[in-house]
Each structure stands twice: as C-alpha cells, then as structure tokens.
Structure 1
Amino acid sequence: MRRTCLLYQGDRPIPYLTAWQWQKELVGERKQARREGKDLADVLLLMEHPAVYTLGQGSSLEFLKFNLDDPQIECHRIERGGEVTHHAIGQLIAYPILNLDHHQRDLHWYLRQLEEVIIQVLAKFGVPSQRIQGLTGVWIDNAGQVQKIAQVGIKVSQWITMHGFALNINMDLTGFNRIVPCGITDCQVCNLNQFVSNVDFVEVKKAIAQTFAETFNLEMQFITSLTTPDL
C-alpha cells in the first residue's frame, strides 16, 4: 500500500520566510505526533520564491560577493547542509516533509532519491542529466560545459526531512553572479528553457509531483491550504 503524501502547490510566489516557517511547523507536528504514538502523512510543498539567498548552517561567507548588510538583498542562514544558493521566480522549489521511518533511514539514499526525481523529470522533457561524484545536485552537459540545473540541500531531524531541491526552469540566472554557487569555483548554472523551448512551468511542476510519488511510492492527495486539520 502506498503511503499518503499531501501535495501543496503554490500558485503564486511564497516569501521564503513563510515557507521556512511552514516547514518547521510541519516537522514539529510530526515529531509531536510520533511522541503521542500517531503517524501524520508525508507532505510535499512545491512553490516559487521571490529573489533570496540562503546559506547552509555551516556555509562560508567567503562565497558571497555582496554585503550582508545590503538592505536590497534578502539572505538567510538556515538549517540545511551545503553552501550558499539563490532562489528566484522561475525556479521550482520542492520541500518534502517525509518520515524516513516509512522509507529508508539513510541520508545518502535520500539525497540520491531526490536527485533521481530531477533526473527522471528532465528525461521526460528529453534532456539528459547526470550526477557528479562527491557533489550533490544535478548537472547537464551543455556543449561540452557541465552546468548545474538543480541544487539539493536537506535537513533531517529524528528522521523527518525538511528543505529539499530547487530546479532552474526559466529564472533570471544573473542572481547567481553575486555568489559562488554551492561553494564551487567556476560553477556554471543553467535553465531548463535553454534546452526545451517554451517549457511550461506548470507541466514541470506536474511532472515533479508525479515522479516524486513514483520514486517514493506515495499516493498524492492534493490540498489547497496548509491549515488543513489532517496536516
């Protein structure tokens, strides 16, 4: 039997701090339910954010090319692993809140599964992609130059996940010029629309949800609000 996963798909950009708070609340509720001998459904949040930078909990400020005091730039240090990255409109963000007790208690396995979701989705759009040994994320060979199309960064506490991955679809990539993406010198980034003309953001979102369900053996249940009592 497939495990239930509640799917929330934002139809408008969600401020980063709002989404971050949602995640923390969802994780906290699942920890509390476990203490009470209950089990809440998994959740997958799919959304976009207005332009923002995030730093992993141990990431270095040397990879920033801007002043943290600049009021025009939003930047937050968060719990996930990894270095600095950039989010903006046109990039699809996926935040899975999974109880790995019901999947596999293995962080490396989980990271590879997230990458596999992205790789399979890109394949559905006719775009071959790959992993790079020793690095997280998904990469594309663009005319002999390897470029990063998706970033992966997670936090797992008591085997409950938060944060996730970001897939560049048709975003303004110039925001990456203000950082050393993921702390990788000379790291080049790319968008899906460079390989698929007129790519439809909504269609990519549908493909992510479907492939995620298949990869993690989940039954998706659509929700329109995060205030649903069953959350």
Structure 2
Amino acid sequence: MIMSDAFSLPLGKLFTTANYTDAFSKMNILNAYKNSIIISGCVAAVVILLAGMASFALVRYSFKGSKLLYNIVIAAMMFPVFSTIIPVFRMEFGWGIAGSGKTWMSLLSVILPQIAGNMAFAIVVLTGYIRSLPIDLEEAAFMEGCNAYQIFFKVIMPLTKPSFAAVGIFSFLWSYNDLFTQQFFLRNKDEWAITRLLLEISSKEGTNYGLMAAVVTLVVVPLLIVYVCLQKYIVKGMTAGAVKG
C-alpha cells in the first residue's frame, strides 16, 4: 500500500495496526527499550553528578593548572568518538567488560564511553552557569558550617536546576541515539538497545516498508515525548547564565 498509494491518509480500511503487532512479535522491542533506558539513564545521572562537581571546582577553587585543565576540557570536544573507539574497546576488553557475554557488563561497556563523551559538553555548559551565580550564598552557607559537598548539593544544585536539566536531557538523548558505540559493544540480541535493534531490522526487513515505518515510529515517539514535555528546561538550561546582569 505504501508503494502503490503513498499519499493516502490511514483512514477507514487503510488503518491497521498489523505492522506494529508484527514488530512486537518478530523482535524483542520491550527488552531493547529497557536496555536503552538503563544505558541512557545511567549516562545522564553520572554526567550530571560528575560534570556538576567538576564545574563547581573549576569555577570556585583556584589551584595550579586549573586554567589548563579547563582548556583541555574544551579541547576534548574536538575529538569525535570515531577517533577513540578502537583504544577504548581494547581497554575495556582488557578489563574484561567488553565481549564478556554478560548483559550487564556489555551495557556497562557502552555506558562508560558515553559518559566520557558527554562530560566535556556538560562541564562547559555548567561552568558558564555556575560562574554567573553570586558567591554570597555560598559564603553564607560556609559561615553556617557547610562543607564543600553540602554547598554543592544544597546551594549550587538547587540554583542551577535548569542547566542541570538541560545537561541531563541532552546526555540522555545523545546516549539513546548513539548507534556507533552500540555496534561495537552490544553483540548479542539480549543486549541490544533500541537503535541497535532498528539497525538489525533494517538489514533484514529493508524492503518491508510497513514494518520499517512502524519500528521507526516506535523509536522516534519517545524522543518526541521527551522534547515536548521538557522543551522549556532545554531552552532555559541553554540560555540561563549566557547573559549576566
């Protein structure tokens, strides 16, 4: 029907859910969703925590080599994942994580390089926001007896919610869409995330356009929901702290 009448609306007899039923029966889509959520959720949570603490240290603490360290972080954004994937794979294979045949180890082997790949962007965004915050609140908290960790979690994080939210959302979405890393580390069917599963379906069912369209819809719809529900946090997080005063 797609080939014979591609511009018809799915109304009346044309409306069918057969392709979606076929997709769920042929492939373990729910397991792929679970793996994607585990990977992307862990990446977003760890990036928020580590990038936030690193940004706080770079902005509020003056130590030897701090400027050099920040320049290295910015320079790290120039190196694409394609240039580092081979040494990363060899390193994780040496640790016994990659190629272990264990699902949780394989998911971890994807999570670690994705965390590293998102850290530079997250630090740059959070550093600009934290630098724009008045230091008076932190000094007041210090006078009340708060240590550095308490200041970060009780003062910095509540004040930087939009920026942290933006970093978490972008880290989650980039991890969700990262097919390149998944191709290297997720080899078994039980380990596949949703984008890796889509690649497998396209290679086997490339001419079944109805099934392909249904699967692409299943992959894209969660991303659309995230963008629609959280777009205000994305806009606030990327613009807050850009203009001072």
How would you bin the TM-score normalised by the shorter chain? under 0.3
- The TM-score, its normalising length taken from structure 2, stands at 0.25
- The TM-score, its normalising length taken from structure 1, stands at 0.26
Bigger Rg over Cα: 2
Structure with the bigger RCO (C-alpha within 8 Å, sep 6+) is 2
Higher strand share: 1
